[in-house]
Amino acid sequence: MNVSDLQYFLGMAGTVAFAATAVAAVAPKGIDFFGAIVMGIITAIGGGTIRDVILDVPVFWSLDLNYIWVAIVASLVTFIANRMMTRREIYRSMLYLDALGVSLFAIQATHKVMQYDFGLPLGPVLLGIITAIGGGLIRDVLSNSPTLLMRNELYAIPVTVGCITYYTLMNFSSESAIENGFFSIMLIFCLRSAAIYWDLRVPNWMLTKPTQP
């Protein structure tokens, strides 16, 4: 297994994670199997689709439908295993897989956008964030849930730190993309995992004061 195989494998693992956590997230609202699959697909490919449309390049899944097949299978399996998945401890372990997916997609996107010299230096970071959280935002909107931007979770901040880190490292040593990528992915994954494990949230003094009950 070489580096490119590994990257592909990790991309698929991220897709599984996104689709499965999406179905697990909407399941408590009572969704049918078809809605579950649609939610799984949209969450898995939504962010990357927005990125490719803004970049004006062919959307990634039209060139490799495995992303969609994998999302369909992962959604269906999660739907069927739903009573099991909603048990708290299993849902939490899904969150770590989701964290890995977010890390991978964010850095892959940053890398892709840099290759197109698109809006340097902000473009790669911005589209890295959109790729990582875009699918989840669409899922929350379509399932009428509060979006993660309103939930004060440490979710988008680790992604941003990782994308900036990768962009900075690549400007110093563009020849060692693999090491830079590995480090940045690990950075996002560790920060996000710490947030899940200790249930860390954005501290109160970094919030605006809510005036609504």
Closest CA to 131 of 10, 15, 21: 15
User: What DSSP line would sit under 110-162, residue for residue?
Assistant: HHHHHHTT-STTHHHHHHHHHHHHHHHHHHHHHTT---GGGTTBSSHHHHHHH
Amino acid at 34: F
Classify residue 15 as exposed, middle or buried by CB count within 10 Å of its CB (0-12, 13-18, 19+). Answer: buried
Ramachandran class of 145: left when φ > 0, alpha when ψ lies in -120 to 50, beta otherwise: beta
Question: Which residue in 8, 9, 62, 179 binds a copy of itself (CB under 8 A)?
Answer: 62
In the range 124-183, which residues lie near a copy of itself by CB under 8 A? 126, 129, 137, 141-144, 146-147, 149-150, 152, 156-157, 160
Q: Cα(11)–Cα(98) distance, rounded to whole angstroms?
A: 12
Question: Which residue in 58, 92, 174, 197 binds a copy of itself (CB under 8 A)?
Answer: 58
Residue 39 C-beta: closest distance to a copy of itself, Å: 7
Residue 2 C-beta: closest distance to a copy of itself, Å: 27
In the range 186-205, which residues lie near a copy of itself by CB under 8 A? 202
Classify residue 5 as exposed, middle or buried by CB count within 10 Å of its CB (0-12, 13-18, 19+). Answer: exposed
Based on the shown chain and the rule CB under 8 A, indicate whether residue 90 belongs to the binding site for a copy of itself: no
Question: Which residue in 7, 13, 38, 164 binds a copy of itself (CB under 8 A)?
Answer: 38
Question: Which residue in 40, 123, 128, 136 binds a copy of itself (CB under 8 A)?
Answer: 123
Q: Which residues bind a copy of itself (CB under 8 A)?
A: 26-36, 38-39, 41, 49, 53-54, 56, 58-59, 61-63, 65, 68-69, 79, 82-83, 86, 118-119, 121-123, 126, 129, 137, 141-144, 146-147, 149-150, 152, 156-157, 160, 202, 206-212
